[in-house]
């Protein structure tokens, strides 16, 4: 008995505060949130307990998913994720590939490509709001004005003011901020491939193209997976950038995280909670298989 306490006591003492906090604030609150999403708590009086709240099951979900407005948010989220993810991966990989072979001033290029990562979305949103200004021709500022100056007038457009694809304009600053991070990941991946492996393949008479296909790319697959996971889950939670570039009330750029905030501001806690659960489900579908994979490979 005493031996058990001596053995189990200290580690439990160190870790239990965190376990309790994570248990309550992550899993406990997710449970309460799920319950709230299944009630009819749609008014301020109900949130303060002055009016009764009743259980309505999945009704909020059916109504949300059936509404044009929320479908628009989901479509926006999908578009944003596709553009952000592919953009960050393409530029990040290209920069890493270019910097992998010895390059003069490598440190300068690397540091400058990476620096936007240190800046908040709110701060970068200030300048991108100006760059993505939708005015054209005489009134054009930002990128539209730059296109005029360099004679690419046809590239002028309304950026995020376009109802159908405006959200993809918001992905541009996101790519600007995160491509350098993907570069850093891939660069570490390239450098992690033993030089002897490449040499050996070359001695075997493998062409440069085959070298990449057979040796380099397979080694980079875990990096690609991490990159997709990190960018993907960031993308699903996009909020700050839209708040600072567009406005929460703008239909063109709304996504679920924005809906959640707007519902909350209207004291519609039930719908707000439901949007949160929907986001959680989307993230879980992406993350849980990955975490299981990581846990399994970690045990080996």
Partner 1 sequence: MAVTEAQTTSSAPSPRPPRRQVDPRYALGRTVKYLVLFFFLVVVLIPVYVLVVTSFKGSGDATAARAWSLPTVWVLDNWGEAWTTLAPAIGRSVMLAVPASIISSILGSMNGFVLSRWRFRGADVVFTLILFGMFIPYQAVMIPLLQLVLGIGLPSGVPTLIMLHVIYGIPITTLIFRNYYESVPIELIEAGRVDGAGMLRAYWSIVLPLSIPSFVVVLIWQFTSIWNDFLFAVFFSSSQNGPVTLALNNLANGSILANYGASMAGALLASAPTMLVYILLGKYFIGGLMSGSVKG
Q: Give least dist CB 95 to partner 1, A.
A: 7
Cβ 240 vs Cβ 170: under 8 Å = no
Q: Give least dist CB 90 to partner 1, A.
A: 12
Q: Is 11 in the site for partner 1 (CB under 8 A)?
A: yes
Q: Which is nearer to partner 1, 164 or 286 (CB)?
A: 286
User: What residues numbered 166-185 form the site for partner 1, per CB under 8 A?
Assistant: 176, 180-181, 184-185
Q: Closest by alpha carbon to 236, among 269, 285, 177?
A: 285
Pick the binder of partner 1 from 1, 54, 209, 299 (CB under 8 A): 299
Q: Which is nearer to partner 1, 131 or 167 (CB)?
A: 131
Pick the binder of partner 1 from 59, 157, 219, 226 (CB under 8 A): 226
* 23: Cβ contacts below 8 Å, ≥ 6 apart: none
Binding mask 255-294 for partner 1 (x = CB under 8 A): -xx--xx--x----x--xx-xxx-xx--x---xx--xx-x
Cβ 88 vs Cβ 186: under 8 Å = no
CA distance 253 to 266: 19
Pick the binder of partner 1 from 53, 106, 163, 219 (CB under 8 A): 106
Q: Which residue has the tokens 């085959």?
A: 210
Pick the binder of partner 1 from 117, 163, 206, 262 (CB under 8 A): 117
Backbone angles phi, psi at 55, to 5 degrees: -80, 130
Q: Give least dist CB 236 to partner 1, A.
A: 7
* 49: Cβ contacts below 8 Å, ≥ 6 apart: none
Q: Is 153 in the site for partner 1 (CB under 8 A)?
A: no
Q: Which is nearer to partner 1, 167 or 279 (CB)?
A: 279
Q: Which stretch binds partner 1 (CB under 8 A): 53-61, 80-88, 159-167, 198-206?
A: 198-206
Backbone angles phi, psi at 121, to 5 degrees: -60, -30
* 42: Cβ contacts below 8 Å, ≥ 6 apart: 267, 268, 269, 270, 271
Q: Is 53 in the site for partner 1 (CB under 8 A)?
A: no
Q: Which stretch binds partner 1 (CB under 8 A): 73-81, 156-164, 195-203, 212-220?
A: 195-203
Beta bridge partners of 39: 55
Region for 192 from its dihedrals, namely left if φ exceeds 0, alpha if ψ lies in -120 to 50, beta otherwise: alpha
Q: Is 3 in the site for partner 1 (CB under 8 A)?
A: no
Pick the binder of partner 1 from 58, 139, 210, 214 (CB under 8 A): 139
Pick the binder of partner 1 from 124, 134, 168, 252 (CB under 8 A): 124
CA distance 275 to 268: 11
CA distance 189 to 260: 37
Pick the binder of partner 1 from 53, 74, 78, 127 (CB under 8 A): 127
Q: Give least dist CB 111 to partner 1, A.
A: 6
Going 172 to 124 to 109 to 218, the CA torsion angle's sign is: negative
Q: Which stretch binds partner 1 (CB under 8 A): 53-61, 82-90, 139-147, 154-162?
A: 139-147
Between the alpha carbon of residue 55 and those of residues 47, 58, 60, 269, 299, the distances in Å are 14, 9, 11, 13, 43
């Amino acid at each position: 008995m005493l031996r058990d306490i001596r053995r189990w006591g200290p580690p439990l003492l160190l870790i239990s505060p965190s376990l309790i906090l994570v248990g309550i604030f992550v899993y406990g609150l997710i449970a309460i949130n799920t319950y709230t999403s299944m009630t009819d708590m749609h008014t301020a009086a109900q949130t303060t307990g002055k009016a009764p709240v009743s259980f309505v099951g999945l009704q909020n979900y059916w109504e949300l998913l059936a509404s044009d407005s929320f479908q628009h948010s989901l479509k926006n989220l999908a578009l944003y994720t596709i553009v952000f993810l592919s953009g960050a991966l393409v530029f990040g990989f290209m920069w890493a590939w270019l910097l992998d072979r010895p390059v003069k001033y490598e440190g300068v290029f690397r540091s400058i490509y990476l620096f936007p990562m240190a800046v908040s979305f709110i701060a970068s949103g200030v300048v991108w709001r100006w760059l993505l200004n939708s005015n054209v021709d005489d009134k054009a500022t930002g990128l539209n004005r730059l296109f005029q100056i360099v004679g690419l007038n046809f590239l002028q457009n309304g950026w995020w003011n376009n109802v159908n694809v405006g959200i993809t304009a918001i992905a541009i600053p996101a790519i600007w901020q995160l491509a350098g991070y993907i570069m850093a990941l891939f660069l570490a991946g390239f450098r992690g491939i033993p030089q002897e492996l490449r040499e050996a393949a070359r001695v075997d008479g493998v062409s440069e193209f085959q070298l990449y296909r057979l040796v380099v790319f397979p080694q980079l697959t875990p990096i690609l997976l991490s990159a997709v996971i990190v960018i993907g889950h960031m993308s699903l939670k996009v909020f700050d950038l839209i708040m600072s570039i567009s406005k929460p009330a703008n239909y063109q750029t709304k996504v679920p995280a924005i809906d959640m905030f707007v519902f909350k501001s209207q004291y519609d806690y039930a719908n707000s909670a439901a949007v949160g659960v929907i986001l959680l489900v989307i993230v879980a579908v992406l993350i849980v298989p990955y975490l299981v994979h990581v846990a399994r490979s970690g045990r080996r």
